[in-house]
Structure formats: C-alpha cells, structure tokens
C-alpha cells in the first residue's frame, strides 16, 4: 500500500493538512542525541520503566521527586550503588515504591556506562545506530538493559529524539489493515515486518520514521 493513501486518510480524519502537521513530532536537530548527557538518558529510561503498566500522569507529576530521590540519575554512581540505598528508596514516598523497578536503575546505569566507554557517551552510541535497524537497537536494549522489552524502549527512543516507530495499538491496527503485519507486534518477526513497512514508506516519502508512525496512527478509525 502506498503511504499517500494512508496520509490522505489521516488528513481527512484530523480536518486538514495543517491540523495534522501540528500533531506530528518535531524533527530533532542533527546532534540532539549527543548533546543529551548520560544522566538524562538514565532519567528518561527510568521514567519509561516506571510508566509501564502504570498511570503515566502519576509518574510525570511525581518526577521532580524521582529526580531528588535518585540524586539526578548519575550513571557512574548508580552502576555500583550499595544495596541499602535501594532498600531506602523502596520506603521513599517521593517516588513510586516498586522495588523491582527501582532495581532496574543500577542495571540500566551499567548499560549506559558500558556504551559510553566504547562510544564516548550513550548519546553518541544512539547517534550512530541507523533508524532502518530499529529492531536491532530494540534487541540490544532488551538484552543489555532491564525492563526494556515491549514498548518501553520504543517510547524511550521517541522521548530522547531517536527517529523510530512506536507500535501503539493504532499503529498495529494500521499495519494489519495494510496487510503488512501478521505476527505478534512483540515478536521478532512482527518487529521485522513493521520495520520493513516503515523503511519502504520512508524511502517512498522521505519522511522521518517518527512522523510516519504518527500519521499511520491518525489514519485509523
């Protein structure tokens, strides 16, 4: 299916091209990933981990408390934090006191530090990873991080400005309507089918993956 047809449906549903464009993600600057410091990556990863399966606005409303409780999410500290610090956090009312998710912070800090040692920073690591291989990056994050399976890693990448798709309910529905997805969207096969569709549409239109993903979601009734 040509993306022109999907685009036209999204325009009609949103009331016009200007209305649709106002809802699309902004194009990030060329060096936005490298400009973000490693502590901000650990912060955004943790925010996405805590949002998974939870009411997002509760996490967002408490986020200043998270920043204070985790002392700014400095990876060099959290990668080797003493166990008693994590136990204290499980009693800290400034955050959501979920010990399993609290324990992801040291593991994801180690992931960030390992990548930073090789590439200079975690942002530089993300910068060199091409959008046409989002599946590879998602697999890497799942294997090397903690609780970064499902859509959590996809939302994290979108939040920090890496250009990729998000397999939301509407995007999955759109791919299925176009007969481009017949596997589970959480399986490797399903991710590869989605990636192939978005790569084809990117080559057809020149639009970034993040905008293609959003337009597709708006085309669904």
Judge whether 156 lies within some domain: yes
Domain membership flag for residue 17: no
Residues ≥6 apart with Cβ < 8 Å to 219: 6, 7, 9, 10, 13, 174
Do residues 54 and 149 share a domain? Answer: yes
In a domain? residue 23:
no
Domain that holds residue 151: 32-160
Are 47 and 152 members of one domain? yes
Domains of the chain: total: 2
Total-model pTM: 0.95
The proportion of the chain whose per-residue pLDDT surpasses 70, expressed as a percent, equals 100
Domain-located, residue 22: no
Tell whether 45 and 131 lie within a shared domain.
Answer: yes
The mean pLDDT value of the chain amounts to: 96
Q: Do 184 and 88 have their domain in common?
A: no
pLDDT greater than 90 at residue 150: no
pLDDT digits (tens, 9 = 90+) for 81-111: 999 999 999 999 999 999 999 999 999 999 9
Confidence of residue 28 (pLDDT cuts 50, 70, 90): confident
CATH code for position 96: 1.10.340.30
- The CA dihedral of 181, 199, 143, 188, to the nearest 10 degrees, is 20
């Amino acid at each position: 299916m040509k993306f022109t047809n999907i685009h036209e449906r999204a325009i009609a549903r949103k009331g016009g091209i200007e209305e649709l464009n106002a809802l699309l993600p902004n194009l990030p600057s060329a060096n936005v990933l490298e400009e973000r410091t490693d502590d901000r990556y650990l912060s955004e990863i943790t925010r996405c981990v805590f949002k998974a399966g939870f009411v997002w606005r509760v996490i967002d409303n408490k986020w200043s408390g998270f920043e204070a409780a985790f002392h700014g999410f400095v990876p060099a500290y959290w990668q080797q934090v003493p166990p008693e610090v994590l136990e204290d956090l499980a009693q800290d009312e400034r955050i959501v006191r979920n010990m399993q998710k609290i324990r992801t912070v040291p593991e994801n800090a180690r992931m960030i530090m390992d990548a930073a040692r090789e590439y200079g920073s975690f942002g530089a690591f993300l910068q060199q990873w091409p959008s046409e291989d989002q599946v590879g990056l998602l697999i890497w994050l799942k294997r090397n991080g903690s609780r970064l399976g499902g859509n959590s890693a996809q939302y994290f990448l979108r939040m920090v400005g890496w250009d990729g798709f998000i397999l939301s309910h509407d995007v999955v529905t759109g791919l299925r309507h176009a007969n481009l997805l017949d596997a589970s969207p959480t399986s490797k096969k399903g991710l590869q089918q989605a990636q192939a569709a978005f790569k084809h549409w990117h080559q057809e239109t020149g639009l970034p993956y993040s905008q293609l993903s959003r337009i597709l979601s708006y085309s669904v009734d």
